Structure 1
Amino acid sequence: MKFNQTLILLLCLTFFINCKKSTEAEIKKESTISKAEKQFALLTKDAEDQNRIPRTLDAQGQMHWAHKNFDWTEGFFPGSCWYLFEATKDKKWQIAAEKFQALFEDHKYLTTNHDLGFVFNCSYGNGYRLTKNEAFKKVMITAADSLLTRFNPTVGCIKSWDVTNGWQKERGWEYPVIIDNMMNLELLFEVSKLTGNTTYSDAAKMHANTTLKNHFREDYSSYHVIDYNPENGAVRSKQTAQGFAHESAWARGQAWGLYGFTVCYRYTKDIAYLNQAEQIANFIINYKGTPKDGIPYWDYNAPNTPNEPRDVSAATITASALIELNKYSKTSYNSAIDKIMNSLASDVYTAKLGENKHFILKHSVGSIPHGNEIDVPLNYADYYYLEALTRYKSMELNKK
């Protein structure tokens, strides 16, 4: 009898401790979102004053706004507002999201850029997911139609950059496809689901399959740019544009690949995409040169570590992708997720209220080879952080 009473007491004590830990973890997640919301509210006030979309800071530490004609990052700011609306249920964030995404609605007709997926899925896509506003759905469909004009079935990919002018022309490419382009497929998958038209998803799957075949090395790290012959689909070259070297692993590129193939699995349940995402995750998580806090250098092969800049944007994309992958995989990514999320929430990477020109996170990198956006806040780092926080808050830890 005494043994049974002791056992019951121990079980009750264990249950109490676990409940206490769970409650403390939930409070911590909630306070992190609240802290981010307060900072982002200040940034939103700045944006409203200028009726512009914040992108980053310039070399002098002043606000750099998204280009009005088109900016591949323009969808992230209203997308962040949508995630704050989802997390807080505060109507002011829906109002802000709708206001700022309206600034670029007419860009849905552009056929000169592959980043329509980023722009419209992160903004109007999240808006439709949360409100079911039919007007948002129509914008998504038009943007997807515009994106499809860049698909070449002979190559099996959506063309990333036009090469008629600028630095892209100087590289001598004919049909460049970058790993980032995996992120634009979600718009096609979602529009296919909304309309029942498989033309969109067929193109997305072909792009994913071609990328899986040609973009990855034996260790599952990714090249940045694969240039194709548009006439026969042959690979012309494998290079980088924003990484350290052609054979290096640009950190954000690895994150784009992880996220992209996780999304592909979500829509298709094709085990090949799940396997690819798991292999990329394995490369990222187990790379020996990554600092202990889980925030990578801007390139996994950057030569001057530990004095190379970190890329927080790569970490936020990775964290958000891992949280979703955790739902599908037999492998548990809990430890890696917790490490990255706790690091991002620390004072090392999260700005104090009122600082950092009101961006949430510090220490991201746009493109070191181009000398652009080095060790600065970036609106897409904040976007994927808020997405990760929203997912993290509701994540049921995958105990395996």
Structure 2
Amino acid sequence: MSSASSAIESDSSESNHGENFALAELFNTDATTLQGRVKPFSDFYRDTVEKGMVHYSREIVSAVSNRTRVRAADGTIREMIMLGSNNYLGLTTHPHVIGRIKDALDTFGAGVGGPPLLGGMTELHRLLEKRLSRMKGAEDTMLFGSGYQANLGWINTLIRADDVLLYDAYNHASLYDGIALTAAKTKFSAIRFAHNDMDHLERLLQRYRKAEDRPNRQIFVAAEGVYSMDGDLVPLPRISALCATYGAVLMVDDAHGTGVMGRHGGGVGEHFGMKDGVDIWVGSFSKAFGMTGGFLSASREVIDYLRFCSRAYIFSAHLPITTVAAVLGGLEVLEREPERIVRLHENARYLEKALSGLGFKTFREAAIIPVHMPPDANIREVCKLFDDEGIFLNSIEYPAVSKDGQRLRLSVMATHTPQDLDEAIAAFERVGRTVGILAGSSWRGPQRAG
């Protein structure tokens, strides 16, 4: 039996990205008691809270929408423009979604009270599996308690000894943890390739391709549809073609693409006009659908196998009916109101163009906009200024990103109004000038189409 470290081979694409960090490593001590181990971090955290420099775990006291009521550290409640939620389509407050949940609760109660294999599932669970299969162009789908759990489930079940997993350096933390879990019992090779670097991936595919002395080897390639910290897309046509050429199984985690990309919200597959070419789709309900839970779509044979062999699936209670009904309601809203996706991208494009025009370093391909901060900027102070301005956003600092990669991460929603975005843009200009990021400019605003 191999150790986790022996199964993960080193490569030139070392990752300092946020999905593979462990904050605890910064607070290691030689303490001999549990209290001694945890106290340094607790002291640091409490001191930071007292200085008003912590903007995590904020208390929400209303529905999460374009403007959300938030309890401040001093106990006061105020309305803030929400730019920190992945509720991209604003579905959490949609009347049809709320109605779907109420009807389902009246019919089925709150949950099934057990794992799907033994406790069973409702007809709504089965309907959601069918709807997601159709959305992803797959034969079948299974539901998980979270997208994180879905990634743990397929890696730990499908990868065997002597297999090879090639994965993008910016893949989600759940993939890293799935690798470590699998490595504890299976001797396989896991190698990073540089982010979205298809030339690097092809060199690795050539190196690890199935050979006569490795007849049972299966190569897996893991990527994401939309990368969560940078908001850029996978080059899906190229990576799919490479996997087909070298006989590799392609898994795409489309958590931030499902419901966002493509004319009907089908994800990056629909965005690129690809009806096939991906073997395994993983997704999450915690982004565009505003809930929790995840899914995995693949061939019928793969799903049959995972339903009975994935420990992450068979030893977890099934999704509560509220989640299933909400996602079904969200899918129905997408069908009836495709203009929500159009409006989402119009809003994201408008905001990114304005911030770039002011002089901020930004980027956009989906609904995530990273706004990079100078390495010497105190990003906690910057975030506090935005908090004072009534702008709810997320600051991403080291070690979640490299020391020169700190940023503000904005999540745009279809329900943001022109007034919301213009107020946010004005706040960005004021804060940027206050902290010296912007030399000096005056926001006039690009002309909106229509």
Say whether the fold is shared (TM-score over 0.5): no
What TM-score results when the alignment is normalised by the length of structure 1? 0.26
Comparing both structures, which one devotes a greater share of its residues to helix?
A: 1
What TM-score results when the alignment is normalised by the length of structure 2? 0.24
Which structure ranks higher in relative contact order (CA pairs < 8 Å, sequence separation ≥ 6)? Answer: 2
Greater gyration radius: 2
